[in-house]
């Protein structure tokens, strides 16, 4: 790892063993800074771009590698796609370690593609799953898996890349919660 590649990620928080932010045991990196300001956001302390704690890519990767039981890593927020340069570097290291990679974004996949930005495209290309779209409080649904509101999509990025059409991750996936 050369020093030039060791970029800083502005971090809001870390959940080292989550089972609710993607398939299997996952390390969840909550990045700091979000421009969307969705009413009812679950993580309003992540909005301020001036808040958070700076951590290097290698520092975060070393922390991920401490846990041999992880299936993958999820980028959450905040808005991961406001920090694509550094997250691409971390993403490559995660993929090279054989872990799956998932990201949330308040932007839709179509909005991200319309940026025509190389690091955005590179990050999209390495994802297994993207959960896209802003949180819409009026469409909140507690039975949804990995997403908070019905407009958001859990996208199978590998199948989407192969077919050229947005393909959802296991469309029968959401479950009825019986209380």
Binding site residues, ligand SF4, CB under 6 A: 34, 36-38, 41, 43, 46, 77-79, 106, 134-135
CB of 134 to ligand SF4, least distance (A): 5
Q: Residue 31 or residue 70: which is nearer to ligand SF4 going by CB?
A: 31
CA–CA distance, 158 with 125 (Å, rounded to integer): 8
- Burial class of residue 151 in the structure, from the number of CB atoms within 10 Å of its CB (0-12 exposed, 13-18 middle, 19+ buried): middle
CA–CA distance, 179 with 161 (Å, rounded to integer): 38
Q: Residue 107 or residue 169: which is nearer to ligand SF4 going by CB?
A: 107
CB of 127 to ligand SF4, least distance (A): 17
Whether omega for the bond prior to residue 78 falls within 30 degrees of 0, making it cis, is: yes
How many angstroms separate the Cα of 86 from the Cα of each of 114, 164, 170, 179?
20, 27, 30, 42
CB of 145 to ligand SF4, least distance (A): 16
Q: Residue 79 or residue 128: which is nearer to ligand SF4 going by CB?
A: 79
Q: Residue 16 or residue 36: which is nearer to ligand SF4 going by CB?
A: 36
Helix (H) / strand (E) element for 131: namely strand 129-132
Largest CA distance in the chain: 52
Q: Residue 34 or residue 70: which is nearer to ligand SF4 going by CB?
A: 34
- The length of the chain is 179
Residue position matching structure tokens 């401490």: 66
CB of 132 to ligand SF4, least distance (A): 10
CB of 141 to ligand SF4, least distance (A): 14
């Amino acid at each position: 790892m050369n020093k030039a590649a060791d970029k800083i990620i502005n971090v809001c928080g870390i959940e080292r063993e989550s089972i609710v932010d993607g398939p299997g045991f996952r390390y969840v990196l909550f990045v700091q800074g979000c421009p969307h300001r969705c009413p009812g956001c679950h993580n309003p302390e992540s909005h301020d771009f001036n808040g958070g704690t700076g951590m290097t890519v290698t520092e975060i990767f070393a922390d991920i590698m401490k846990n041999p039981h992880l299936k993958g890593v999820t980028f959450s927020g905040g808005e991961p796609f406001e920090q694509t340069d550094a997250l691409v570097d971390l993403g490559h290291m995660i993929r090279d370690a054989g872990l799956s990679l998932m990201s949330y974004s308040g932007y839709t996949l179509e909005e991200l593609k319309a940026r025509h930005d190389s690091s955005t495209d590179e990050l999209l290309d390495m994802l297994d799953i993207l959960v896209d779209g802003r949180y819409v409080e009026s469409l909140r649904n507690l039975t949804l898996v990995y997403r908070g509101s019905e407009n958001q999509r859990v996208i199978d990025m590998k199948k989407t890349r192969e077919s050229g059409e947005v393909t959802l991750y296991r469309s029968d996936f959401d479950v009825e919660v019986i209380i």
